[in-house]
Structure 1
Amino acid sequence: MTLTAADVPAAARWYTDVLGVEPYFTRPLEGPAAYVEFRLGDDEDELGVMDARFATWPVGEGAGVVVHWHVDDLPATLARFEDAGATVVSPPTVRGEGWTTAVVADPFGNLLGLITSPHWAAAHGG
């Protein structure tokens, strides 16, 4: 998943604080970052943050799609994002037994989906 930000260094700091991991990849190596990438979870899923100037699609609040990623504790994760400055766009919504989603907007205008899903958990030993 690739997100955009007008200020990639600020976004990198924000995501480092929220996710508790440092980016493993940054470009350019010298000067302000124009792209950073994090690896998340047991599957090492990649989350990239790219300078919005390089996007070939519409960027900004409400643009694009919402990509959901699975979290073990949705209320705690949602609170962590809110404490870090994210805005709840869609509060936790039960979609089925054990399956709940929420959507937040990060400070850079990206929409992020959070999900607890028994299907994902079962497929990944949870």
Structure 2
Amino acid sequence: MLRGLTTVSFYAQDVAAAARWYTEVLGVEPYFSREVGEQLAYVEFRLGDYQHELGIIDSRFAPQDRPEQPGGAVTYWHVDGIEAAFQRLLDLGATVYDKPVERGPGFVTASVVDPFGNVLGIMHNQHYLDVLER
């Protein structure tokens, strides 16, 4: 049924500002963008070992019942150094959603709220590294 993660979508009122922030966070430029009229309405990044996609969509296209406060499901992206990655996100203007917590041997998670109101999860996950080695 489910075959793998394709795109994680975030929303922002200012897609251009979000694109700049995520370019700084990720160290890569968006590979795809779309304008509606004269305004940037969507950007998409490919990142990581499996080239997963992170899309940023103009908030005007968000579902009408989207909650005002960050919450819901959290997608975790693997990082090699969780403490350093967490601190870097805070230094770039994110706020704490969930401080780093060891969830079990080899699994540490944390999450932040980006400057645009989205929850960004990070995780050091030994299982991810084991699968990658195979």
Q: CA RMSD in A?
A: 1.7
Runs of 4+ aligned residues of structure 1 deviating over 4 Å after TM superposition are none
Provide the aligned length of Structure 1 versus Structure 2: 126
Q: 2:127 aligns with which of 115, 119, 124?
A: 119
Q: 1:99 aligns with which of 97, 107, 122?
A: 107
Offset, 1:64 = 3.5
Give unpaired runs (5+ residues) of structure 2. 1-7
- Structure 2 residue identity aligned to 1:78: F
Secondary structure of 2:66's counterpart equals coil
Q: 1:36 aligns with which of 34, 40, 43?
A: 43
Give the structure 2 partner of residue 74 of structure 1: 82
Identical pairs, percent: 50
TM-score by length of 1: 0.92
Give the structure 2 partner of residue 45 of structure 1: 52
TM-score by length of 2: 0.87
Give the structure 2 partner of residue 64 of structure 1: 72
Offset, 1:29 = 8.2
Q: 2:93 aligns with which of 75, 81, 85?
A: 85
Q: Is the CA contact 1:37–1:46 (under 8 Å) kept in the aligned structure 2? A: yes
- Structure 2 residue identity aligned to 1:61: Q
Q: 2:17 aligns with which of 10, 20, 33?
A: 10
